[in-house]
Amino acid sequence: MNPWKNERFASESLEAIDRQFLPGTGQEVEFIIKELGISIGSSILDIGCGAGRHSIVLAKSGIAVTGVDISSKMLDEARKRAEENNIKLTLVEGDILRLSELLNGRVEAFDGAICICESGLGTLGWQKDLSVLKAIYGYLAFGAKLILTTYNGLKKYRGEMIKAKSFDYLQGSVHWRLPDDWYEEHYDGERFKDIQRVYIPSEIKMLCEIAGFGDVEICGCRPGEFNRQPLEPDDIEMMVLCRKKRTGK
């Protein structure tokens, strides 16, 4: 079972996300609007939209947002917050591996796409990550950009990090699981665990290029600090900026 489908896990995660990331959302959205080159009336796809942290602020700026997430709890919260802010979001529940099926019937291409805070990419394995990137590419207008953030694999290969038992440095994957005391208090069902594929910059750049994207750039990023800063080896996350190639180019 995907942990995001568990209501308690999603609720506790949402509290942590709000506490740690909500204060910097305004700055991040300003960057997103400028970087994507969008304006009032533009449409974007928010992959792993969660409770609508970015979607809601974008919609308040006049952007038409379609958000996709696997968590019903998160989407319920997104609907509630959208209503409180008197804005409209198009929200779709489902696995991003089924993106083409979830968006089936959409004719108009999106003017941009975002996938922020490890919103699915990395937990799928590189072949499935590639299929998602290809699907996103297919739904973008020519010349439109994708902004995604993901874990910076360079950090895992440095110093003592490479010796961590949870890190398989040959496969570039982190084996994640919740601590036992999380279950002891409230839950006696299935144990949640996952494998997170962490990429070094050249790997994620190659995946984007294989998916068809051009102008792929890698930057550093921190919560509330999206400004194209150089990626440092010890940064937790990295940002990928890429563009759907224009016709004939």
Write down the pLDDT at residue 7: 79
Residue at token pair 């910097």: 24
* Of 55, 10, 45, the residue nearest 244 (C-alpha): 45
Distance CA 52, CA 57 (A): 8
Write down the pLDDT at residue 188: 58
Note the pTM of the prediction, 2 decimals.
0.91
Per-residue pLDDT of the chain (249 residues; tens, 9 = 90+): 677 777 778 888 888 888 888 899 999 999 999 999 999 999 999 999 999 999 999 999 999 999 999 999 999 999 999 999 999 999 999 999 899 899 987 778 999 999 998 767 777 788 899 999 999 999 999 999 999 999 999 998 887 677 778 888 888 888 888 777 777 665 656 777 778 889 999 999 999 999 999 999 999 999 999 999 999 999 999 999 999 987 644
Instruction: Report all structural domains of the chain as residue ranges with CATH numbers, in order of start.
Output: 3-152+200-244 (3.40.50.150)
Distance CA 66, CA 75 (A): 12
Check if the beta carbon of residue 150 is closer than 8 Å to that of residue 240: yes
The strand order across the sheet containing 90-93 reads: 90-93, 64-69, 43-47, 110-115, 140-151, 237-244, 213-221
Copy the structure tokens of residue 166: 């949870």
